[in-house]
C-alpha cells in the first residue's frame, strides 16, 4: 500500500511560484503573437518590432524559468519542501 503523505500539498511554494510564472509567460507569448499580427495589419512596423522584442525577451525568460523549476524539483535549488 502506498505511503500517505501528511502534507496535502505535493509542491513547494517555490515550485508552485515557478510553475505559475511559466504559465503566465506562456499565455503572454500567445497574446504577443496576436499583438504582432494587429500591428502588422495596422501597418505599424515599429509596433510589430517592439512586440517581437517583448515576445523574444519573455520566451528567453520562460526557458530560463524552466531550468530553475527543474532545479527546484530536483532539490538542487531552493530550501526545504515548503520554503517560502
Q: What is the pTM of this model?
A: 0.76
Per the structure block, which three cell numbers stand in for 42?
Answer: 495596422
- Give the pLDDT band (50/70/90) at residue 80: low
DSSP, residue by residue, 18-69: HHHHHHHHHHHHHHHHHHHHHHHHTT-HHHHHHHHHHHHHHHHHHHHHHHHH
Do the beta carbons of residue 11 and residue 82 sit within 8 Å? Answer: no
Q: Per residue in 23-53, pLDDT tens?
A: 999 999 999 999 999 999 999 999 999 999 9
Amino acid at each position: 500500500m502506498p505511503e500517505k503523505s501528511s502534507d496535502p500539498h505535493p509542491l513547494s511554494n517555490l515550485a508552485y511560484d515557478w510553475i505559475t510564472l511559466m504559465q503566465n509567460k506562456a499565455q503572454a507569448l500567445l497574446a504577443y503573437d496576436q499583438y504582432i499580427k494587429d500591428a502588422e495589419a495596422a501597418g505599424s512596423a515599429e509596433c510589430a518590432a517592439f512586440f517581437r522584442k517583448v515576445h523574444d525577451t519573455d520566451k528567453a525568460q520562460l526557458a530560463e524559468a524552466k531550468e530553475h523549476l527543474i532545479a527546484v524539483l530536483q532539490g538542487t535549488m531552493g530550501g526545504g519542501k515548503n520554503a517560502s
